[in-house]
Chain A
Amino acid sequence: MASTVTLAKPLALHWQQPGPRLFATIKGLLFLLCLLPLAQLLWHALLGHAVNPIEDLTRGLGTWTLRFLLITLCVSPLRALGAPGWLLRLRRMLGLYAFFYACLHLLTYLWLDQFFDWGAIVRDIVKRPFITVGMLAFLLLLPLAITSTDGWIRRLKRNWGKLHRLVYVIAPLGVLHYLWLVKRDLQSPLIYAAILAVLLLWRLWRYLRPTLAARVK
């Protein structure tokens, strides 16, 4: 194992090409780091003296779902800006965390908001655009979460990448959900919308660049 005899390796090289042990450590730390928001939200809701802890929990989980979606979308641009290649190998975990927080967010809605009154839930989904859009975003996340395993990546081959472009639909739906649910002050959903716009426009630019360059010639 290379990483056990790494004393001579310069630090920069560790950063660029960590050995399997170092990489496992980084991954483990990231795994724990991603649980911190959940720990904080639960702590605040259960042990803090929040006035409306259930609202704080639902909203906090929604906010972190959106944040994890955006963080996942940051990986490619960071790579293009010169971040080391192993970052790509952490992307799956970040995406799955977005799904994880989405599940908890949905659960707080189904349980603490509606108390599993399925009739009311269906009516809500049909009647309220912000719930419709949130539900759609969640349903679209499902196939991505299911096909995130190595087996599915192998089976789907090129189609796997195509399928996972669904995230370009899911994240805007998440922002729309947020825009539609606020009462009056659009400031924070607009901040998320702006970040998402940068992340998506960068992709569009990268996608169109070869065509544009060819035209200029």
Chain B
Amino acid sequence: MFPREITAMLIKTLTDRLSAADITPQEVYLNRRQFMAGSAGLLLPVSAIAALPAAKSPLSTSEKPNSRDDITGYNNYYEFGTGKDEPALYAQRLKTRPWTVTVDGEVTRARTFDIDSLLKMKLQERIYRLRCVEGWSMVIPWIGFPLADLLKQVQPTSRARYVAFETALRPGEMPGVARRVLDWPYREGLRIDEAMHPLTILAVGLYGEVLPKQNGAPVRLVVPWKYGFKSIKSISRIHLLEKQPPTSWNMAAPNEYGFYSNVNPAVDHPRWSQATERRIGEFFKRKTLPFNGYGEQVAGLYRGMDLRRNF
């Protein structure tokens, strides 16, 4: 084990160094993509190279986004493995077309949306902070639309108090689901007012292009004031209901991951502190902000609630 491991390490290090020379700044990369789209557009499927036009949004942060390499090379997406580098390696197998999202339950017009119709929604760029429950954070330029825009189309009934989300389950394409690390399919949930909040979006793109697979293609939730695991990836079903739905991490460890999971520096995870975070790319740690810095917009949703108990 010992010498072989070292050999493997040396080889990996060398190949890492070699591919480091390939790193392209984002702009060069985008131009190259556009060039490819222009010159070879007839040969390549449009979805693979499509640049997504999107309006700027006043809800974006002015902080500097992390690089595309950071955002696409360090992911938690257990369906493709529990290592941070595994989604980038294995998610490419996921077939994101054809793809549909069924929205049903407590709605008057249940509907199945095709991914193409979602890509035709009015898209905005939303540059958001993302804070992972593990104590790191990034700034990510998503492209998407408010979840409310979609929910209004299905007309929630008065009994719709919660929204449940489900990730597609594709054992043939998702090597990670062979082991029951979590109770598949991955499930998440929001209260209806959280779901309708203007900050809550469905993202279909990143850095001006369609969403990379390791980031939850073709469509994922982004709720920037909650820990990252609430922002469920590769959504296949959205179900509106009266009762609070079960959610994956909460089922796995109820004392560690609450239903709300709002970013809260005052409530530690039982096994680590949530008071600080490391912004990817920075040496020193930062203080974590309540609601990940979105308190002004969202604190009102929780007025009168004990957020220590409803963590």
Task: Name the residue of chain B whose CB is nearest to the CB of A49.
Answer: B20
- A71 CB to nearest chain B CB (Å): 7
Distance in angstroms between the alpha carbons of A37 and B284 in the assembled complex: 25
Distance in angstroms between the alpha carbons of A165 and B140 in the assembled complex: 51
Are A44 and B16 in contact, with the CB atoms below 8 A?
A: yes
Distance in angstroms between the alpha carbons of A128 and B253 in the assembled complex: 16
Binds B, one of A18-26, A136-144, A180-188, A198-206: A180-188
Number of A-B contacts (CB under 8 A): 62
A166-184 vs B, CB cutoff 8 Å, 1 = contact: the mask equals: 0000000000000011011
Query: Is A145 interfacial (CB-CB < 8 Å)?
Result: no
Query: Is A40 interfacial (CB-CB < 8 Å)?
Result: yes
Distance in angstroms between the alpha carbons of A75 and B257 in the assembled complex: 43
Are A184 and B273 in contact, with the CB atoms below 8 A?
A: no
Are B23 and A49 in contact, with the CB atoms below 8 A?
A: yes
Q: Is the interface of A mostly helix, strand, loop or mixed?
A: helix
Query: Is A33 interfacial (CB-CB < 8 Å)?
Result: yes
Are B70 and A44 in contact, with the CB atoms below 8 A?
A: no
Are B179 and A187 in contact, with the CB atoms below 8 A?
A: yes
Are A185 and B278 in contact, with the CB atoms below 8 A?
A: no
Task: Name the residue of chain B whose CB is nearest to the CB of A127.
Answer: B268
Are B273 and A124 in contact, with the CB atoms below 8 A?
A: yes
Distance in angstroms between the alpha carbons of A184 and B257 in the assembled complex: 12
Are B73 and A51 in contact, with the CB atoms below 8 A?
A: yes
Are B84 and A51 in contact, with the CB atoms below 8 A?
A: yes
Return the contact of B252 from the options A36, A49, A54, A184 (Cβ within 8 A): A184
- A69 CB to nearest chain B CB (Å): 14
Query: Is A120 interfacial (CB-CB < 8 Å)?
Result: yes
Quick one: given A48-B16, A184-B82, are A40 and B23 in contact (CB under 8 Å)? no
- A135 CB to nearest chain B CB (Å): 15
Query: Is A149 interfacial (CB-CB < 8 Å)?
Result: no
Return the contact of A185 from the options B73, B82, B134 (Cβ within 8 A): B82
11 contacts between A and B (CB under 8 A): A33-B6, A36-B6, A40-B9, A51-B70, A51-B74, A51-B280, A52-B74, A115-B284, A180-B271, A181-B271, A184-B181
The 3 A-B pairs of least Cβ separation, nearest first, read A51-B74, A185-B82, A40-B9
